[in-house]
Amino acid sequence: MSWAAAAAVRSLWRLRTGALRPLSAYGRRISVRFYSLGMTLDNINRAAVDRIIRVDHAGEYGANRIYAGQMAVLGRTSVGPVIQKMWDQEKDHLKKFNELMVAFRVRPTILMPFWNVVGFALGAGTALLGKEGAMACTVAVEESIAHHYNNQIRTLMEKGPEKHEELLQVIRKFRDEELEHHDLGLEHDAQLAPAYTVLKSLIQAGCSVAIYLSERF
């Protein structure tokens, strides 16, 4: 086997095992297939996928910071295990989007440091209102995220469901889990929070702004 042929074999093996290389040993661009997803950079709608992964990564990061803030205040109370269970699922969501960011070479939003602070402050601030305040925050945020995921599902269906099936599966799964969190919030007296309707509306308005900015910057 010549040196060039051996180099080509090594390059293709690194691609198969996850070490991404956009060029072959001969300098020609090759199609990168992600075996865990069954999607390639060549057959997806890059603009849509970049936007979706960037904003979802930011959203799951923000959700993690919200639950961190809630646990800082309520972690030792009776509702602590409920919050921890939801937070653990959000950690899994963030881990998955971290993987997708690398796989599809999507840059994170430049607003990550801002969401770090704002997310924790929102979680801790609503938790200071008591269990009901924390749960009202959960209901508002998770309802917004589920609605946002539904919009993304429609977008990917329009762009070609067969090309984006694996990403669709991820988003559908996470959407369903966010709705479970929403329902848990209602079960734990979210609607008894002070000024529940006003609080929910303000949080959801903030979520809409965060989604808009994180998609674009």
Annotated binding-site ranges for Fe cation: 60, 90, 93, 142, 178, 181
Helix, strand, coil fractions of the chain, as percent rounded to 5: 75, 5, 25
**Residue 42: predicted pLDDT:** 53
Q: Please state the domain extents for the chain.
A: 46-215
Annotated binding-site ranges: 60, 90, 93, 142, 178, 181
Confirm whether pTM is higher than 0.75: yes
Q: How far apart are CA 44 and CA 120, in angstroms?
A: 35
**Residue 173: predicted pLDDT:** 93
Distance set, CA 100 to CA 103, 132, 185 (Å): 5, 34, 29
**Residue 39: predicted pLDDT:** 52
Digit-coded pLDDT (tens) for 21-60: 333 222 333 233 443 445 555 566 788 888 999 999 999 9
What dotted CATH number matches 46-215? 1.20.1260
